[in-house]
Structure 1
Amino acid sequence: MHSLKVTKQHTRISYIMLFMLSAGNLYAAETSTEEPVNLSNLIIEGEKGAGQYDKTLLNDQLLDVPGGTNLVDLSEVTTSQSTLSDVLGNEPGIIMQEFFGGNDQPRLNIRGSGIQDNPVNRGVQLLSNGLPLNQADGSFIIGLLAPQQMRYVSVYRGANALQYGGATLGGAINMIPRTGLNSNNFVQAEGGSNSLLNGNFGVGGANESWDYYISGGQAQSDGFRNHSESERIDLAFNVGYQINDNIENRTYFNYTDNYFQIPFVVQKGIALDHPEAVLGDGYASAYAPPSALPAPAVNHPSFGWNARGGWDGVFNAYKRNPRRESEQFRLANTTRMSFDHTDHELGVFAETVDDVFTDPLSHAVVEADNFGIQYAFNTTGDLITSQDDLLISLTANQGSMPTEYWVNNPEDGTRLFQFADLDMDANNVALNMQYTAKVHQRVQLVTGLQWLHYERDIKGTASTPPSQGFDKVVADVNQDLSFDTFNPKLGLIYEADESVRFFTNLSRSMEAPTFNHLVTRTVGALIVPGETSPPSPPFTDAEIASGAVLKDLKAQTAWTLELGTQGEWQDTSWQMTYYHSKVEDELITLVTGFAVNAETLNYTDGTTHQGVELGFNTNLGNNLLLGGDSLNTNIVYNYSHFTFDGGIYSGNQIAGIPEHLGYVELAYQPNDKILIAPNMRWQPSDTYVDHSNTQVQDAFMLLGIKASYKATDAFRLYADLDNINDETYQTSYVIRGISDVNQPTFLPGQGFSFSVGATYSW
């Protein structure tokens, strides 16, 4: 069915791409009679036009943050950039856990924020050119992000992105798109294991006042597991107009269509012995059913668990066909005005997202609309001290996310019975003020205050779940929640010299629950489609064995103390940050034995998130083997220690994040054309997958090699070899209150794999 869908979308995309390319060519022909512009000569480093983001400006902005940050220049990534994990997975403080290995839904974690929320991710504010990418309820679909469309990525770890309205424990990630002023033209082709095919292009132009850039790509893979095919199509276009030396306006259009099959989790024994297998391949029938099932549901001679073939029969991936199809259209516009001491920035955006997520038991069909506006005012001068900076910003957005919930037909994965139809609306306002003063020649004071107002409104109808009786009642539901808070911030930056700095800050964060938290769904696994004779028992009746209820949750808040240093000395650079967060009302999601139904609650007692984020780069030597060669090393280490302070899990580790995770890369360059970089990703200790700390993800070590060859200034070849030691490991898992070996919990990691590609730029 998806092939037909893709064929129609290919036709639509072809027309859009043809239109944009034609428009670009017509524009170029009409606005310039000179020779075509060589974009490589237009990349400006270290100068600031009206609102123009370049690497120097972005780095300066991050240096003014008294906390942990990252800056990635994708032009310096010489190997694969096909997934977000390729771009951010080896950065200090950022932990990416792959799910299925394609264009899917990797778990993005910063400081333990939103570690349990997948596939509906939350806990980090995603931005494009400073404008929010999250849905209005704070959630985001990570598979819609296309790294090839980005030129820079700025990361503000923790509550350090006040100017963008960031308020989460995890922080914010701001992606700066490619434009006609910061990127060359390019074409890229990539192929590899599991029938991976990935093609991308970018074409732009510029004259004195105008610039434009069009980029797009298509990626597809069969996946290393059964039932794990994926395909993504993306297209982006932006045009900028320099009104004068002080004012710039830019418009962005983005389209993304992402599809992937879900191979689902399996028991640990299957993950170890048959990592490519899914439920339905015949390896899971020997595992006992969930203990929560009543005896009649297990032993019924016609409809029971055993009669249906156990895990392989009830959760057959080929029949139930779990998958996700997401399509996004986004339009945004920014106007920036820069004067001697004052900057103004106004941004607006609108987007639609159609998202159909089909897990083994149910459909969630979302048609979301999101609109937002952002204004920022920044002025510098001698307001109080000799060198002050005042930032005031307002971010507001409103979104509707009407959602239908359906029980799946277990025979073919189609929609069988609608058990909830909900209109869900979210409104958000963030008013931010930050004052920075140089109180001493080497000391910078940063103070901030943020006011937040969030609304979450849900109306509609829902079936009563089994806990309220076997009555087949469809009830009206109505819930209006609002969340208000003030988040203060106080920080200091000490510059030991021009290249070494120390920093500290104390900040507060707040995260409101998403709609996925507020709606608790229950779906029976033993549903029987249609009428049966004799009548089927209640636990197989879709109208009785499924339903939804609304939760009344509090916002999650935290106080975070942060200390760190960043600097360069001779051929060495480093950054190190320690953070300690005391979290109240943490949003904890508990998944049931089926690994599908889930309930979110505010943990009754406090929790503590603390850790160390370390990045270290140094040159180990030059002229070692050949004249002109060099050897450099990159070391990343993340220590994450998250614990329950009290309650039923008192003293236990919060499941989901490895306590120790390291990455080491040795980059050898025999000359300026060749790079050979063996690397190692190491998770040295087992990681708990449940809050009761009973079952673990095994420790692992993965070896890899990255290589690239710059044949000419324009043409580059590259290759990535991953897991060359063919380690059997689990890449991620379902987080429960307590897990049992009989429950499907783990996602197997991919064995040895490779990708090779070529890039031509001009």
Structure 2
Amino acid sequence: MSHLPRALCAASAIALFLPEPVFAQNQSQTDLPPIVVETAPKTARLAQPRITTRSSAGRQTARHAASPSATAPVPSAGSGGGSLTVPTTAEATAAIQRTPGAVAVVPDTQFKGGPASTIRDVLGWVPGVITQPKSNIDNRVSIRGSGLTRNFGNRGINVYMDGIPINTADGLFDLFEIDPTAYRYVEVFKGANALRFGANSLGGAINFVTPTGRDANTLDARIDAGSYGYVKSQFSTGGARGPYDWFFNGSVQREDGFRDHSSGHLERGNGNFGYRFSPDAETRFYVNANTWRQRLPGELTKTIALNTPRSADPEFVRQDQQRNIDSMRVANKTTLRFGPTTVDFGVFTHQRHVDHPIYRYLDYYVSDYGGFARTTDDRMIGGFRNRLIAGVNLQAGVIDYKEYDNPGNAVKGELLTSALQKSQNHSVYAENSLFVLPNLALIAGGQFLHAVRNQEDRILSNGDQSGRRSYDIFNPKVGALWDVDPAWQVFANISRSAEAPTFDANTFNSPVSSNVNAQTATTYEIGTRGRRPDLTWDLALYRAELRNELQCLRSSPFSLCSVVNADRTVHQGVEAGLGVAFIKSAFAPEDRFWFNLAYTYNDFFFNGDARWGNNRLPSVPPHTIRAELIYKHPNGFYAGPNVEWMPQAFFADNANSLTIDPYALLNFRIGHDAGGPGWSGYLEVRNLLDTHYISSTITADIATPASALFNPGYGRTIYGGLRYRM
């Protein structure tokens, strides 16, 4: 616990900003930050209003909405005439705030006011979520140190579109399928707080939710352009007629790239079609199709990354390394309501073709399929309110994997590896909230995970690399949620999480690679969230004690990483969000200056490791700070600067021998968005001072100044866009 006082000190500093309590009834005397009840587009079709709140950043956000009273049932989806299968932003916010832990709902109004290009545009202001850009749209995403040393792809987080998994069956996920312009809102569940989906990994879950025809604009079109050849166009349309509704979103994006050999383009489409059998029964079909073509510039040494950040690794250029993926997802979800009980069930399939010339030429097909069922029961039992969520997730997949020599120029050479990789991830889960007092709920739950990794080697001339591993793990959780008043919550929980290795960990090429164990963790968490006049806050402190942490360590510049288990490690930290309106009616009635802060403290270290002792864990900075000062006029005009600050160096290796230097970036944005139909637009400048810095690193056990591990961040970048809604 030697590092925990630093986390407590940081939390105390945040707490200094909190004012004396103000009773909920006083909120009616001010509109900062107000709850705004907006009539959704097409009011003739919608009886349910869309409730949003205005964030401290001057954007509308449900993350800081007042918590619902524990005595009031959470509104059920579709209760106001909207979609039964897809909750509105207000319904999702009310439901997520029944969670005794750190969670967030990020509405589209928070991320569609800028380029809306990458996952960082969506999640960059959520405390505890680390997004580290690599090149173009590619980002590393980590929550509480999940997938901390992952050098390629992402793992450690369960990612969903509309509650349906997009992870491969062995746990990996690709971010290129995430199109920020396609979503109504995004839900973030940190750690075991994702149990409502049956997810139980260290990082938790992220759910990207698309609109339906019952809350979509008839037309929503935009075009964005920026530095380094960036152009993106997007349009969506939706509608409803009687029991039917439909929605479609399509986008095309291209970029020459900040670095040499980093050009890319992608096309993405998202659509859904719903049919309501009755007020209590609805089914919805989803289709998601994507094409991505991307050249890879490779990692650089620290000196080259800082001095000539636009350069590429010459070997990556010679081999013409690329990442090209085509994917298609088809799914169905049906919701039935029986009084206080709601049942969701569905099936899905996700098909991908990955054409990936790197140091070798990887060419493989991924086929995933599965089903799920979940019930939510919210009723009074013996005079006490009780809310039960229980479900089952079934997912299986096959990877038809082939690996060729790449002699240069992305040409397939000799076939070197051919294998059939089969995965299963099956889980059953339940979480029960018993309100022992009208404003105090005690929560208990658990998940049982059964995972299988089975490989069939189809080239035996170099030995048989076939193998099979299975994992059976039970993960319990207990917690408490106290509504101090209708606008202030305090929560605490203790949970266990587990993560079975992906196929690139259990390669079965050697006894060492065949015996990678599942990563487990026990996490302790306390926190609070709420809103007062002129103030919103989110604060969580946690400590996760890990066994067998999965580490992905680079052994040479031209190879994939080797996955090993660390012994005992600790991830602990502080996640804090703060919003303050401090100047009002400066130039016009009801205008505002807002100050917004998102702070993440990461205190990650080995715990008495035989080799690394108590060294710091690599790949993530101890402190990340995003702060914004913005003016917002009631007519929709806004303008102001913001900063991204990494004030302390962090390490690129377990040996703690090579660091990534601190940096600070100054940004500025200006725009106009009245929030309704018609035109809106923005202009945004990032890295205004053209600072040279390292945005992400891959990880080694021992690094030297000659180690090519680093991705330089973008230089000064300008974006602008226009949007039209009707």
**TM-score, reference length from structure 1:** 0.83
Distance 2:432 2:715 in 1: 50
Q: CA deviation at 1:41?
A: 5.7
173-182 or 626-635, larger mean C-alpha shift: 626-635
The one of 76, 98, 121 aligned to 1:86: 121
DSSP-derived class of the 1:566 partner: strand
Closer, same or farther in 2 for the Cα pair 1:651/1:212, shift >3 Å? Answer: same
- Match of 2:723? 759
Distance 1:571 1:183 in 2: 31
Does the 8 Å CA contact 1:212/1:237 hold for their aligned counterparts? yes
- Match of 1:353? 352
Q: How does 1:201-220 map to 2 (within 5 A)?
A: 201-220=235-254
Distance 1:384 1:628 in 2: 48
550-559 or 395-404, larger mean C-alpha shift: 550-559
- Match of 2:553? 590
Percentage of pairs with the same residue: 27
**Is the counterpart of residue 578 in structure 1 residue 541 in structure 2?**
yes
The one of 685, 691, 694 aligned to 2:654: 691
- Match of 1:537? none
Cα deviations across residues 613-647 of structure 1 (Å, max 9, x unaligned)? 11111211212244442101110000001100122
- Match of 2:7? none
Closer, same or farther in 2 for the Cα pair 1:76/1:729, shift >3 Å? Answer: closer
Cα deviations across residues 42-78 of structure 1 (Å, max 9, x unaligned)? 5633663133411121111111111101111103432
Does the 8 Å CA contact 2:148/2:551 hold for their aligned counterparts? no
Distance 1:577 1:162 in 2: 18
The residue identity in structure 2 corresponding to 1:586 is E
Does the 8 Å CA contact 1:677/1:706 hold for their aligned counterparts? yes
**Is the counterpart of residue 479 in structure 1 residue 467 in structure 2?**
yes
- Match of 2:36? none
- Match of 2:710? 746
The one of 190, 195, 203 aligned to 1:157: 190
- Match of 1:530? none
The residue identity in structure 1 corresponding to 2:506 is L
Does the 8 Å CA contact 1:51/1:338 hold for their aligned counterparts? no
Does the 8 Å CA contact 2:85/2:333 hold for their aligned counterparts? no
Does the 8 Å CA contact 1:595/1:744 hold for their aligned counterparts? no
Does the 8 Å CA contact 1:199/1:217 hold for their aligned counterparts? yes
625-634 or 322-331, larger mean C-alpha shift: 625-634
Distance 1:383 1:38 in 2: 39
Distance 1:166 1:425 in 2: 20
Cα deviations across residues 113-166 of structure 1 (Å, max 9, x unaligned)? 112223221000001111111000011111121111111100000111222120
Aligned residues between the structures: 652
Closer, same or farther in 2 for the Cα pair 1:66/1:190, shift >3 Å? Answer: same
- Match of 1:312? none
Cα deviations across residues 280-302 of structure 1 (Å, max 9, x unaligned)? 3xxxxxxxxxxxxxxxxxxxxxx
The one of 417, 420, 423 aligned to 1:423: 420
Distance 2:370 2:500 in 1: 18
**Is the counterpart of residue 335 in structure 1 residue 369 in structure 2?**
no
Q: CA deviation at 1:549?
A: 8.6
Q: CA deviation at 1:477?
A: 2.1
Q: CA deviation at 1:583?
A: 0.3
**Is the counterpart of residue 732 in structure 1 residue 720 in structure 2?**
no
Cα deviations across residues 495-522 of structure 1 (Å, max 9, x unaligned)? 110000100000000000001112288x
Cα deviations across residues 465-520 of structure 1 (Å, max 9, x unaligned)? xxxxxxxx522222111000111000001111000010000000000000111228
The one of 255, 258, 270 aligned to 1:236: 270
Distance 1:437 1:549 in 2: 46
The one of 211, 215, 219 aligned to 1:178: 211
The one of 393, 396, 403 aligned to 2:394: 396
- Match of 2:367? 369
**Is the counterpart of residue 439 in structure 1 residue 397 in structure 2?**
no
- Match of 1:715? 679
The one of 507, 517, 520 aligned to 2:505: 517
Cα deviations across residues 161-213 of structure 1 (Å, max 9, x unaligned)? 22212010000001111211222120110001011110000011112311101
The residue identity in structure 2 corresponding to 1:716 is S
Does the 8 Å CA contact 2:551/2:563 hold for their aligned counterparts? yes
Does the 8 Å CA contact 1:589/1:600 hold for their aligned counterparts? yes
- Match of 1:499? 487
The one of 28, 34, 39 aligned to 2:42: 39
The residue identity in structure 2 corresponding to 1:187 is A
**TM-score, reference length from structure 2:** 0.87
Distance 1:761 1:375 in 2: 36
- Match of 1:658? 621
Distance 2:508 2:630 in 1: 49
- Match of 2:61? none
Runs of 5+ unmatched residues, structure 2: 1-39, 52-74, 79-83
The residue identity in structure 2 corresponding to 1:344 is V
**Is the counterpart of residue 448 in structure 1 residue 445 in structure 2?**
yes
Distance 1:204 1:94 in 2: 32
Distance 1:671 1:235 in 2: 34
The residue identity in structure 1 corresponding to 2:85 is G
Distance 2:329 2:718 in 1: 33
176-185 or 444-453, larger mean C-alpha shift: 176-185
Distance 1:462 1:272 in 2: 44
Higher RCO, 1 or 2 (CA under 8 Å, sep at least 6)?
2
The residue identity in structure 2 corresponding to 1:413 is A
Distance 2:400 2:542 in 1: 38
DSSP-derived class of the 1:518 partner: coil
Closer, same or farther in 2 for the Cα pair 1:665/1:713, shift >3 Å? Answer: same
Does the 8 Å CA contact 2:679/2:724 hold for their aligned counterparts? yes
**Is the counterpart of residue 69 in structure 1 residue 69 in structure 2?**
no
The one of 353, 369, 379 aligned to 1:381: 379
- Match of 1:322? 321
**Is the counterpart of residue 251 in structure 1 residue 215 in structure 2?**
no
**Is the counterpart of residue 166 in structure 1 residue 199 in structure 2?**
yes
Distance 1:221 1:40 in 2: 39
DSSP-derived class of the 1:142 partner: coil
453-462 or 648-657, larger mean C-alpha shift: 453-462
Distance 1:81 1:270 in 2: 30
Closer, same or farther in 2 for the Cα pair 1:587/1:38, shift >3 Å? Answer: closer
218-227 or 177-186, larger mean C-alpha shift: 177-186
Does the 8 Å CA contact 1:520/1:598 hold for their aligned counterparts? no
Structure with the larger helix share: 1
**Is the counterpart of residue 705 in structure 1 residue 668 in structure 2?**
yes
Distance 1:660 1:382 in 2: 45
Cα deviations across residues 21-54 of structure 1 (Å, max 9, x unaligned)? xxxxxxxxxxxxxxxx963665633663133411
Distance 1:595 1:255 in 2: 31
- Match of 1:610? 572
Distance 2:697 2:363 in 1: 24
Does the 8 Å CA contact 2:151/2:552 hold for their aligned counterparts? no
DSSP-derived class of the 2:708 partner: coil
Distance 2:42 2:110 in 1: 17
The residue identity in structure 2 corresponding to 1:590 is L
DSSP-derived class of the 1:414 partner: coil
Does the 8 Å CA contact 1:493/1:502 hold for their aligned counterparts? yes
Does the 8 Å CA contact 1:511/1:557 hold for their aligned counterparts? yes
Distance 1:331 1:108 in 2: 25
DSSP-derived class of the 1:415 partner: coil
